[in-house]
Structure 1
């Protein structure tokens, strides 16, 4: 290998590796928090967490490796072009075609690695990941039963838990409605309970202690036929299959390697069974790795003509090309599934079009002709107004005009130097932020495309989901973008000796970094606003759309749509239907219970109930009162009025989860739960995080400033690498401390604020000790 080849490879390998790390980290960023909580709070073993991450990575890397190849070429060759090294090579008689040799070698290596992942390793790891997730989910299925929420996921059971301690081992205050026999339902109340799973036999039990069972026959005309049974302990086997993911012995098409796919095709063809989906997977496993070669043909000419933007423009350009590639291949896959086009053409169309475009660009670049200039000249030959516009643009002519001179207003801050630094920081921040947004859109689209196709859902639902979930992901990505922008902006200023010039003019590093610190503080303020006024509604919309795409029951957030709900104080309502316009219930039952003993004190049943004035009017009523586990009174009343604090508006009010509440809403919710004696540990951690997390952008800027000045003249790539490393450390720390707060190892304040405090102290110490 000659010196030139080694030099080109050295230039493209570093940004390729960096792009690979950035893309992979972006895709696993959300999983880091989930895995840390799984390890600390839910009791999963370290081995399970490590295996989940290990099996998760091959499928991700098969996706990110071709993208990284394109980024490496565009950034590496863009740097050579920016520093006029490509001009020097051409002046020395080196043809552009000569540069193809190291580029083809580089892309060929990427193609081989990606092929190994796509054809064999990724399908195997995806199947193993599904198996281990099933096993972990089986053992952690009880986590799906939340306190103060009516859980109806177990067939024929409605389960309501008053409280679940932080240890999660037992339930306090259990209310169960069992309807295996609809004509004879049972109401069970117990002081304690727990959910037990026998994984080997795949059985689940609800164990209850110190409880009473209430039962009566709805078919009976006499409501006096009422039975009560006390028990000290009880174990009921339940059908909990809906809590666990269903794993079939037979692999799905996307979890088969290439040999298994061809074997399945050979088995189906003699039986005349459809093989279209199998051929689509076959072509995908070859086409996606081959994109490394296609990106090489396209990246070489685009990289060397990228002179003004350098590395930053190369990164943005790569995102645009990747977005086009995956949109085209996804659209083709959908058409192939519907039988509109052949699988080969559907999957390979993106490679073919980009390869043709790359060859055209390559030929024009080798001849030192501008392809865009060629298009302008051809288009300008067309008669009409458009031609005149293009000719004026090509001539760079400027029409005369009136020049107005406005007196300059002197502003002490931000001065011209502050605005220069802010422009540099703002450009890199906007570029990074938009790139991460496009990357997230691509990742999410491919994450849900299989569900949409399997469930025959239109693709626009995925786009709507991305639209509504994007604010949440950008909320998480904003600190990373601030970190990268700060490190790269000051890194580039240091590399070009502009920081040295500023210091020579008497400016300290503190004064130089002030506009970026203030900009980060402004972004933190914007994060507070987004968290309170944008995310709650957007998250609810996104959750509903995701459930629709995956064919899950759409979660309702209005109590109007529920037949079970908790009232004010110690009361539970059950009804068949509630007419909000007429303010009328059908088949209403009201359960009043003692919160200390968790036993019924009164039960009211009415055929109809309507709101009259400021009272509820009940028709065809019977009431039963209890004392010390025995019936103390029973009445049958044709019609009665009752004063309840729950007005009609209460049954129509919106129910929100903590992450869908504003700060003050969650604060009031925590106070209400605490007054009722419930465990509020998790909610207090989430409340504290609503104040701590928006400030992460400011913390990242404080941390990045001294790092950027310490990098010296190493440049942007080094800064991006450092920023990704810091982001990974911070994200892991955030997840661990949050989980420690959930299990009460740390107070809620420290669980939420410790990562900020630790990284802020480190950043401030480095900032005050850096030479200035």
Structure 2
């Protein structure tokens, strides 16, 4: 029995690791394709891109792990069925359920590890990833001096380069406008050619200019004429040093992102949900105290120390049109006052309720990741035993279909819960609730050796059905 368990474990672990790496690589490529325009051409150091890819890989575990469990379980039991190893196991008196026990233990361990990862490591990875991605997308392009365009990317300068050589560093026909003390373009520099390079510390961009002339305008001695003097300098070679401070990545304080739901663990999410619920309850009490003074007639009790006998409403006589108009105008003004008081508070209540639903969804997603691994294993293992096909052919197609069903249902439930159409608890678990009975059904069919995907059975069934129909005619 132990040898059979070791055989099953060895057959499962290798395809699981391979499929996990493949899925992580595919998701990483999707990330690069999505943000390639925000990352390329900005002069990032190689370790910035590598760090961003590493954090993105950590955030993709929530999608890659369930798909890897599903695909590897189908491949494992499909390969065992294709090589008649499952037949040998059953002939030895071991049922499919007993053969699934060691695999079930491994999947349970994976689900517990997935829960720990989503609670402790995933919030940190999300915080690092989204903060770094925000700074990277905000970074200016490293193409500092495009051709035939006046570039204003350096404060106080406007630079135009007519043409660049293929090496990207040699410049032709350069024109530089620089601002003087009066914050106007008082200095103009022309050069036939130049060389552009960065300093070793990447703090400055140096423009080495050749064969040019510089014109400077100054206010002169009197000071009230801004362009009284004009000086001209001819040069064979000169240098212009420009600061690159605005073109180096500046990290935003990570504390500005910590209030997002994806950056919190269970304890922090529960604390926020409790605080938000208390705020909603207190706002309801405040709203009642704000509205009650405007409801004048219903707040007077039937017996009061000040009013011995309340005046019946039907005893008030309104005869003239002006009196009726005054009554309606007063009532309308009071309604407008109540609407003005409640408008901002209503919008705040809606935003707070939406935030509560979003945080409750994130709280439940910590548990659904591990549950998804178990449910998808209950689907994948019996499916592999039924279809009896290993490798990356039919198992990939079947696993992708079931994973798409899981992902689409989960996405619809999550969006509906965030909009308030569903309870956050239902929205988080609806995909698991739909697929779990399917997993139990497939497990039962595989345990009873049902030929669920045998095409010949369905052909014979439709053939008999068509023969009965012809006889009836």
Give the TM-score of the pair, scaled to structure 2: 0.60
Q: Aligned partners of 1:114 and 1:238: how far apart in 2?
A: 43
Is the alpha carbon distance of 1:333 and 1:176 closer, same or farther for their aligned partners in structure 2, counting shifts above 3 Å? farther
1:86 corresponds in structure 2 to 86
- State how 1:98-137 maps to structure 2 within 5 Å: 98-131=98-131
Is the alpha carbon distance of 1:392 and 1:240 closer, same or farther for their aligned partners in structure 2, counting shifts above 3 Å? same
2:276 corresponds in structure 1 to 268
What is the CA distance between 1:73 and its match in structure 2?
A: 0.5
Whether contact under 8 Å (1:78, 1:311) holds in the other structure is: no
Q: Aligned partners of 2:48 and 2:84: how far apart in 1?
A: 51
Structure 2 gap segments, 5+ residues each: 218-226, 281-351, 468-473
2:407 corresponds in structure 1 to 326
Is the alpha carbon distance of 1:154 and 1:275 closer, same or farther for their aligned partners in structure 2, counting shifts above 3 Å? farther
Q: Aligned partners of 1:168 and 1:343: how far apart in 2?
A: 55
Structure 1 gap segments, 5+ residues each: 216-224, 378-388, 398-772
* Matched residues, number: 367
What is the CA distance between 1:148 and its match in structure 2?
A: 2.2
Q: Would you say 1:359 and 2:440 are equivalent positions? A: yes
Is the alpha carbon distance of 1:6 and 1:151 closer, same or farther for their aligned partners in structure 2, counting shifts above 3 Å? farther
Deviations, residues 631-656 of structure 1 (Å, cap 9, x unaligned)? xxxxxxxxxxxxxxxxxxxxxxxxxx
Is the alpha carbon distance of 1:226 and 1:287 closer, same or farther for their aligned partners in structure 2, counting shifts above 3 Å? farther
1:68 corresponds in structure 2 to 68
Q: Aligned partners of 2:31 and 2:178: how far apart in 1?
A: 37
SS of match in other structure, 1:249: helix
Q: Aligned partners of 2:166 and 2:261: how far apart in 1?
A: 41
Is the alpha carbon distance of 1:271 and 1:136 closer, same or farther for their aligned partners in structure 2, counting shifts above 3 Å? same
SS of match in other structure, 2:256: coil
Q: Aligned partners of 1:237 and 1:42: how far apart in 2?
A: 15
- State how 1:628-643 maps to structure 2 within 5 Å: none
Note the aligned Cα RMSD (angstroms).
Answer: 5.1
Q: Aligned partners of 1:259 and 1:305: how far apart in 2?
A: 43
Between 1 and 2, higher relative CO (CA 8 Å, sep ≥ 6) is seen in 2
What is the CA distance between 1:185 and its match in structure 2?
A: 8.4
When structure 1 is superposed on structure 2, of 26-35 and 8-17 the one drifting more is: 26-35
What is the CA distance between 1:294 and its match in structure 2?
A: 0.8
Deviations, residues 49-70 of structure 1 (Å, cap 9, x unaligned)? 5544443432233432222111
When structure 1 is superposed on structure 2, of 292-301 and 343-352 the one drifting more is: 343-352
Q: Aligned partners of 1:281 and 1:329: how far apart in 2?
A: 13
2:420 corresponds in structure 1 to 339
Q: Would you say 1:305 and 2:304 are equivalent positions? A: no
Is the alpha carbon distance of 1:244 and 1:353 closer, same or farther for their aligned partners in structure 2, counting shifts above 3 Å? same
Whether contact under 8 Å (1:19, 1:71) holds in the other structure is: yes
Is the alpha carbon distance of 1:113 and 1:186 closer, same or farther for their aligned partners in structure 2, counting shifts above 3 Å? farther
Q: Would you say 1:392 and 2:462 are equivalent positions? A: yes
What is the CA distance between 1:204 and its match in structure 2?
A: 9.9
Q: Would you say 1:44 and 2:50 are equivalent positions? A: no
1:349 corresponds in structure 2 to 430
Q: Aligned partners of 2:413 and 2:177: how far apart in 1?
A: 49
Q: Would you say 1:2 and 2:2 are equivalent positions? A: yes
Is the alpha carbon distance of 1:367 and 1:214 closer, same or farther for their aligned partners in structure 2, counting shifts above 3 Å? farther
Whether contact under 8 Å (1:97, 1:366) holds in the other structure is: yes
When structure 1 is superposed on structure 2, of 285-294 and 302-311 the one drifting more is: 302-311
Whether contact under 8 Å (2:11, 2:76) holds in the other structure is: yes
Is the alpha carbon distance of 1:165 and 1:310 closer, same or farther for their aligned partners in structure 2, counting shifts above 3 Å? closer
Is the alpha carbon distance of 1:259 and 1:390 closer, same or farther for their aligned partners in structure 2, counting shifts above 3 Å? farther
Deviations, residues 708-749 of structure 1 (Å, cap 9, x unaligned)? xxxxxxxxxxxxxxxxxxxxxxxxxxxxxxxxxxxxxxxxxx
Q: Aligned partners of 2:175 and 2:279: how far apart in 1?
A: 53
2:265 corresponds in structure 1 to 257
- State how 1:496-645 maps to structure 2 within 5 Å: none
Whether contact under 8 Å (2:41, 2:143) holds in the other structure is: no
What is the CA distance between 1:153 and its match in structure 2?
A: 8.8
2:146 corresponds in structure 1 to 147
Q: Aligned partners of 1:50 and 1:258: how far apart in 2?
A: 29
Q: Aligned partners of 2:465 and 2:78: how far apart in 1?
A: 27
Q: Aligned partners of 2:274 and 2:208: how far apart in 1?
A: 54
What is the CA distance between 1:26 and its match in structure 2?
A: 2.5
Which of these two proteins has the greater Rg computed from alpha carbons?
Answer: 2
Q: Aligned partners of 1:285 and 1:175: how far apart in 2?
A: 59
Deviations, residues 449-483 of structure 1 (Å, cap 9, x unaligned)? xxxxxxxxxxxxxxxxxxxxxxxxxxxxxxxxxxx
2:341 corresponds in structure 1 to none
